[in-house]
Chains A and B, each alone.
Chain A
Amino acid sequence: MRKFNIPHTFELKSIIELFALWIKQGTLKVNSDWNKDLKIKFTVQDPCNIARKIESDHIVNDLRFVIKTVVGEENFIDMVPNRSNNFCCGGGGGALQAGHTEQRRAYGKIKFDQIIETGADYVITPCHNCHAQIEDMCHHYGGSYHTVHLWTIICLAMGILGENERTYLGPDLADHGLEKEDA
């Protein structure tokens, strides 16, 4: 919109900012109790679009606030470097559809190693491209982490994640919170 000076009166926002705002306002009631004993570890991929291409860290900071609220501060492990200095996963710029698969995967090797370094069980990817790329690398390089959307974990924490909505969860969480409904 900025590039082409397209006139508009609506505001552009990221869903992450809204999640953070709603949690602070109390309209989104979520906490990390579910993970107190499980202690499942999470890391996050900062999408370049919100980490670097806007000139502020506010969305990536909101992202950490939301994740820590949902999984517990002690269960969140950041990659190094992160935020605006984060490495691109290699799925951006159309790379997933550019056809240079070998190069794309070599590009992403840094990211894969970073993820492994955190020891996290789950990588939260708030961008569809990152999700596809990070998942692809997990298969290709033989990782054991799972790649999930942010809203999946929010719903899991709230106990409202349905049975069909668990494609990307590992066996440790595949049934988590479901027993309740059978009882």
Chain B
Amino acid sequence: MTDSIALDELTCELKNQVASRVPDANLDLCLTCGACTGGCPASGQYDMDPRKFLRMLLLGMDEEIVKNPWAWVCTMCGRCVTACPMKINIPKFIFNVRAAWPREKRPKGIRGSCDQHIRSGNAMGVPKEDFVFTIEDVAEEIKEEQPDFKGLNITADRPGAHMVLNQNSREPVTEPDEMSPLWKVLHLTGVDWTYPTVMWGGENYCMFLADDEGWRYIMEEFAHHIEHNIKAKVVVNTE
């Protein structure tokens, strides 16, 4: 008679944590088929891939998981979920691995942008006056040089505007002239719109940083500004 192999009790703290935060992540249902890994552009980086990462989670290799920088190479793009026969939510697993990193150890670039967003209202840290100056400056030039757009009206935080345009905060800083083509389209279609200047920006680095608190704060302040100050009906993201 063969004896069954006795296994030590597994302690899977990280797994339990992820499972409690994401009840529908289906972590235990993995068939190890590898469909996720086969279609993941991050497979092989840092000798890691989604199936292997998930195996490690299920085996309780918490320390190794949280030490591996792969959680920052995966873009949480979700392609693996689409491919997975068991609909295992790997991006949410990755999000929680990121959250398990001590905040000060998370990538400086992402952390800096998140902190900046909370501190100054946008990830690039553009003061409101500078932003308003930039858009007015670009608009002035167009009005002068392009007679078709003499009536161009670019505003920020204008109460009563129907639509709010939330763009990436890099645009006004690094390439202001890339904003105005969109203004012209909006002008010609006759939309009544304005820019928000509270917790704005199409990008949300606190989300990437897996800083739930920061992320929530940004969203709440933004929503409050739109609902109570501008009272817009529609928020449009440019990306």
Q: Which residues of A contact B (CB under 8 A)?
A: 1, 4, 6-15, 18-19, 22, 27-29, 47-49, 52-53, 84-88, 90-100, 103-104, 106-111, 126-129, 149, 151-152, 154-155, 158, 160-162, 164-165, 167-168
Chain A residues with Cβ below 8 Å from B205 are 94, 97
Chain B residues within 8 Å of A99, by CB = 72, 107-109
Number of interface residues of B (CB under 8 A): 65
Known contacts A27-B190, A28-B188; A13 and B236 CB within 8 A of each other: yes
Q: Can you identify 26 A-B contacts, CB atoms within 8 angstroms? A: A1-B219, A6-B219, A6-B223, A8-B227, A10-B234, A12-B237, A13-B234, A14-B236, A48-B75, A88-B77, A90-B75, A93-B72, A93-B76, A94-B107, A94-B109, A95-B75, A99-B107, A100-B107, A107-B41, A107-B45, A129-B203, A154-B185, A155-B185, A158-B185, A162-B180, A164-B177
How distant is A105 from chain B, measured CB to nearest CB, in Å?
10
Tell whether B104 is near chain A: CB-to-CB under 8 Å: no
Q: Which of A13, A49, A103, A104 has the most CB of B within 10 A?
A: A103
Q: Does B102 contact A (CB under 8 A)?
A: no
Q: Are B41 and A165 neighbours in the complex by a CB distance under 8 Å?
A: no
Q: How far is the CA of A175 from the CA of B182 in the complex (A)?
A: 19
Residues in B lying within 8 Å of A, measured CB to CB: 39, 41-42, 44-46, 69, 72-79, 81-82, 107-110, 112-113, 141-142, 145-146, 148-149, 164-165, 168, 170-171, 175, 177-178, 180-182, 184-185, 188-190, 202-203, 205, 208-209, 215-216, 219-220, 223, 226-227, 232-239
Kindly list chain A residues whose C-beta atoms are within 8 Å of the C-beta of B112: 97
Q: How far is the CA of A154 from the CA of B73 in the complex (A)?
A: 34
Q: Is there contact, CB below 8 Å, between A84 and B82?
A: yes
Q: Is the CB of A10 within 8 A of B233?
A: yes
**Across-interface contacts of A22 in B (CB, < 8 A):** 189
User: Which chain B residue shows the least CB distance to A168?
Assistant: B178
Q: Which residue of B185, B226, B239 is within 8 Å of A128 (Cβ)?
A: B239
Chain B residues, Cβ within 8 Å of A158: 185, 188
- Most chain-A CB neighbours within 10 Å: which of B108, B149, B223? B223
Would you call A15 and B73 a contact (CB within 8 A)?
A: no
- The 8 Å CB contact of B237, one of A14, A95, A100, A103, is A14
B77 near A97 with CB under 8 A, answer no
Q: Are A15 and B75 in contact (CB under 8 A)?
A: no
Across-interface contacts of B202 in A (CB, < 8 A): 128
Pick from B44, B110, B185, B220: contact of A6, CB below 8 A. B220
> Which residue from B145, B203, B233 sits with its C-beta under 8 Å from A11?
B233
Given contacts A1-B219, A162-B145, contact A107 B178 (CB under 8 A): no
Asked if residues B181 and A92 are in contact (CB atoms below 8 Å), the reply is: no
Q: Is the CB of B41 within 8 A of A88?
A: yes
**Given A8-B223, A28-B185, A160-B184, list of 12 further CB < 8 A pairs?**
A52-B77, A91-B75, A92-B75, A94-B110, A97-B205, A98-B107, A100-B72, A151-B185, A152-B181, A155-B181, A155-B185, A167-B177
